[in-house]
Chains A and B, each alone.
Chain A
Amino acid sequence: MQPLPDELACEAIELELFVQAMHRRHGYDFSQYAPASLRRRVRQLAERLGCDSISALTGRTLHEPRLLPQLLEGLSVPVSDMFRDPAVFRALREQVLPLLASYPQINIWQAGCAHGEEVYSLAILLEEEGLYERSRIFATDLSANALRQAEEGIYPVREAQQWSRNYQAAGGTRSLVDYYSARYDLLKLDDRLRRNITFAQHNLASDRVFCEAHLVLCRNVLIYFSNPLQDHCLALFRDSLVRGGFLCLGMCESIDFAGNAGDFAAFDAGARIYRLAANTVAMAVP
């Protein structure tokens, strides 16, 4: 097989031009996304849209504005499960919610909610702990397509078994079946779960703080960002959190290289739950 040393160099240029096109044509800046995953996603997008190169995709990005929702979805949406990493949801239930219970109104921001599996998991936790009536969950994502799906709360029924196991392992007090109805090969979550969720488009790279949150969940989102953008997001979360507020990141995420990691103190290191550092000893009385 003939090695093609130039091909990778060309692709790197194509990738840069595509990122520029997204920024200048549509106002979305992906230049601070971590390159390996970005390259992979752009390659996949090109393939999915029938483009034989990234340059061809760039051409369509410039000339076919109706493609934008698809582009954003392809560039940003990972997959999750209900109660993914049950130990984390158990820690939220057993350690974090009892502390949040002292507030008359609880605001939770789920940043990068993708298709919403974890938003509804959170709603169930709050419901079962008797806190949902005074809670408001702001579920945001870059992708309007993803938000639309999240809002529907419809998922393939084949996931139900695994999700039920996760739910039980996360300390569920009922049965997950109580929260959905299954029809054909789909399951639909109970509409009532959505009553205190606000879905909204928000770009972590460019949009500002929009609420005062007691808990921010941002799991497996920053893993796609370079260090400077990770820093930027941590500052955004810091500015959004109340004194003593909580931040929950993905299980394998590291903030070892974040310039502002010192703003957060480990609350449950294993579950990657942090707390605003200034107030780690005493919880502010609401």
Chain B
Amino acid sequence: MKTAAAIVVGCSSGGFDALRVLLGGLDPGLSQPLLVCCHSGSETIELLCELLGRVSPLPVIAAAERHAVRGGHVQLAPTGYHLLVEPDRRFALSTDPRVNHSRPSIDVLFASAAVAWRETLIGVVLTGASADGAEGLRLVRRAGGCAIVQSPVSARVPAMPQAALDRAGADYCVPLADIPPLLNRLCLPRP
């Protein structure tokens, strides 16, 4: 693929712990935006940002409506809204019906990001109990982007990465611990 311009990550059950591992292993020099759709249970978005901010070398913030996507930041979808990226790389929210029983839905984020970044997008699907993210990841690949799926055997709940593999396939299917170094390698300028 071309040099990556952005990363989108989707996770559900077991996602919080997986995100701690993923974000914790990122290189502080990453300049790409990393957008996260996590079906969190009861945690508020503020709490989630704070807890993840403790382990992430990049600042973790809530994605803000109409604001530009920020490079070098982790940005989370707010609870109760679908998060989308406009073609001019600003955030948009929607209260359209749930998709795969979820709002925010990973499919919705990935589909819009695939239009915004096309072949320079990396999509990552982690642990989870639904099939959300599978169709989104298919669209990421169809637009020429790169798909990374946590290997189902390494996932706390394998259903979601398995569904993504079945529907979209993957460029990389690796254990969780290998995903941060892989992202660093794909995103940092080559020496």
Chain A interface residues (CB < 8 Å from chain B): 1, 3-5, 7-8, 34-37, 39-41, 78-80, 220, 223-224, 227, 250, 252-254, 256-257
Contact = CB atoms under 8 A, between A and B. Distances in A.
A152 B147 CA distance: 46
Contacts of A254: 64-67
B95 A34 contact: no
Contacts of A5: 118-119, 143-144
Interface of B: 64-67, 78, 81, 84-87, 92-97, 108, 111-112, 114-116, 118-119, 141-144, 169
A84 B175 CA distance: 40
Contact of B143 (A8, A78, A80): A8
Q: Which 6 A-B pairs have the closest CB atoms?
A: A3-B144, A36-B84, A78-B95, A36-B112, A220-B95, A254-B65
A224 B95 CA distance: 9
22 contacts: A1-B169, A3-B144, A4-B144, A5-B119, A5-B143, A8-B114, A35-B87, A36-B84, A36-B92, A37-B96, A39-B112, A40-B112, A78-B94, A78-B95, A220-B95, A223-B65, A252-B65, A252-B81, A253-B93, A254-B64, A254-B67, A257-B66
A36 B85 contact: yes
Contacts of B81: 223, 252
A78 B96 contact: yes
Contacts of B144: 3-5
Nearest to B111: A40
A253 B95 CA distance: 12
B93 A40 contact: no
Contacts, number: 78
Contacts of B118: 5, 8
B66 A80 contact: no
Contacts of A41: 96
Contacts of B84: 36-37, 40
A286 B112 CA distance: 49
Given A3-B143, A254-B64, A39 B115 contact: yes
A39 B92 CA distance: 13
Contacts of A252: 64-65, 78, 81, 93
B64 A79 contact: no
A37 B96 CA distance: 9
A3 B142 contact: yes
A256 B67 CA distance: 9
Nearest to A227: B66
A49 to B, nearest CB: 17
Contacts of A78: 94-97
Given A5-B119, A254-B65, A40 B92 contact: no
A80 B142 contact: no
B85 to A, nearest CB: 6
Given A3-B142, A78-B96, 18 more contacts: A5-B118, A5-B144, A36-B84, A36-B85, A36-B87, A39-B115, A40-B112, A78-B94, A78-B95, A79-B95, A223-B65, A223-B95, A224-B94, A252-B81, A252-B93, A253-B93, A254-B65, A257-B66
A79 B93 CA distance: 13
Contacts of A227: 66
A40 B95 CA distance: 13
B76 to A, nearest CB: 12
Nearest to A1: B141
B70 to A, nearest CB: 14
Contacts of A34: 86, 92
Contact of B92 (A7, A37, A79): A37
A256 B112 CA distance: 23
